[in-house]
Amino acid sequence: MVTALLILSLGGSVLLPALGPAGARGSWVIGGKAALPHSRPFIASIQMDGQHFCGGFLVWPKWVMTAAHCPIPRRNPSVRVVLGAHRLERPEESQQVFGVEESIAHPLYDPRTVDNDIRMLRLNGSATLNKYVKRIRLPSPHVDLKPGTVCVVLGWGDTSNYGERPEQLMETDTAIVKRSLCRTLWRGRVSANMLCGASRNATLRGVCAGDSGGPLIFKRKVYGIVSFSGERCGDRRYPDIYTKISNYIDWVHLIVLKHRHPEGQQEHKPGPGAAKGPGAGRLWGPAGGPRHRSGPAAPRRAGKGRAPRAPLQLQGL
């Protein structure tokens, strides 16, 4: 149908938090199955006023990684991070609940291009690591996943394009799509800081709104953060887009160190070779590392106390 194709050709949407406006394309893992309870003990449910809002994952006992486009305020009593959960709607003894002491979006996160879509949350206490709550390891700096690599994605969202929410944590597999092909399919919207994943066949399969911030896993490490997808979730013609975590290892370590010694450096200390901001030349730098791209020209910051906003529509280029 011409209309549908036209809409699709205009691109996709950031996988906005589940608390988006009513009628938003809420959905989570599509074409998946329930995860074996507690088989993914690093998964976090980030909740606002008791409702699941975004996914995340535990990377150290006090730190959860998620997407910058999840506007999670810090020190807000209505925000909770729930670890050790399988069914969100019932009390589970395995659950550990924390507040968010710090919520740090990447200084170069750009809501327009959705580049650098990574956020670190410092919990208000240390998680107790046990059978139900464990951390997941990060990849080595700058490693990439080969096209065709089959990964797993997780989420607690709607399981259709029509907003059906699962009772349990869901998971599905997704295959890495070559970045150059993905960039063509997305008309240039895919930066070197992104990974693409899609169903291996015509079955609708993948992530959708509400899965935001969740992990893309391969062999016990997390390589990606759920970032955005096409309008129709699971449609392999618009692969799902993940933040490529390996490009941010230096930044992540810097943030964690800085908050271990808070009286040390200034927040967001400018690095050498300040970025020129979106549109000013090479937006998609080489995999040389975001560390060298942090600087005073950082675009608008996300999060920090702002209310959730309507889903961003990515305009076609």
Ligand X SMILES: *[C@@H]1O[C@H](CO)[C@@H](O)[C@H](O)[C@H]1NC(C)=O
| Contacting residues toward ligand X, per CB under 6 A | 77, 80, 97-99, 124-125, 173, 200-203
Instruction: Tell the smallest beta-carbon distance from residue 37 to ligand X (Å).
Output: 22
202-222 residues labelled b (16+ CB within 10 A) or e (exposed):
eeebbbbbbbbbbbbbbeebb
CA-to-CA distance for 135 and 129, rounded, in angstroms? 8
Q: Which is nearer to ligand X, 24 or 204 (CB)?
A: 204
Grouping H, G, I as helix, E, B as strand and the rest as coil, residue 6 is helix
Instruction: Tell the smallest beta-carbon distance from residue 7 to ligand X (Å).
Output: 24
CA-to-CA distance for 134 and 153, rounded, in angstroms? 17
Instruction: Tell the smallest beta-carbon distance from residue 116 to ligand X (Å).
Output: 28
Helices (H), the chain: 2-9, 179-185, 249-260
Q: Which is nearer to ligand X, 151 or 249 (CB)?
A: 151
Q: Which is nearer to ligand X, 32 or 210 (CB)?
A: 32
Q: Which is nearer to ligand X, 144 or 173 (CB)?
A: 173
Distances (CA, A) of 35 to 26, 39, 141, 224, 295: 20, 7, 29, 19, 41
Which position among 52, 69, 106, 268 bears the catalytic label?
69
Question: Which among 280, 316, 233, 268 is positioned nearest to 102, based on CA atoms?
Answer: 268
Q: Which is nearer to ligand X, 76 or 301 (CB)?
A: 76
Which position among 212, 227, 229, 246 bears the catalytic label?
212
Kindly state the tokens that stand for 58. Answer: 């535990």
69 is catalytic: yes
Residue 242's CB is within 10 A of a number of other CB atoms, namely: 30
Question: Which among 131, 108, 120, 139 is positioned nearest to 57, based on CA atoms?
Answer: 120
Instruction: Tell the smallest beta-carbon distance from residue 81 to ligand X (Å).
Output: 8
Question: Would you call 54 exposed, middle or buried from its count of C-beta atoms within 10 A (0-12, 13-18, 19+)?
Answer: buried
Instruction: Tell the smallest beta-carbon distance from residue 230 to ligand X (Å).
Output: 18
E strand segments, the chain:
12-14, 26-27, 33-34, 43-48, 51-60, 63-66, 79-83, 96-98, 100-105, 119-123, 150-155, 170-177, 194-198, 209-210, 215-218, 221-230, 240-244
Kindly state the tokens that stand for 81. Answer: 């991070």
Instruction: Tell the smallest beta-carbon distance from residue 292 to ligand X (Å).
Output: 35
Angle at 78 between CA 64 and CA 36, to 5 degrees: 50
Q: Which is nearer to ligand X, 74 or 291 (CB)?
A: 74
Instruction: Tell the smallest beta-carbon distance from residue 124 to ligand X (Å).
Output: 4
Q: Which is nearer to ligand X, 125 or 316 (CB)?
A: 125
Tell me the residue nearest to ligand X as measured from the CB.
99
Which position among 110, 115, 117, 158 bears the catalytic label?
117
**Active-site residues: which are they?**
69, 117, 212
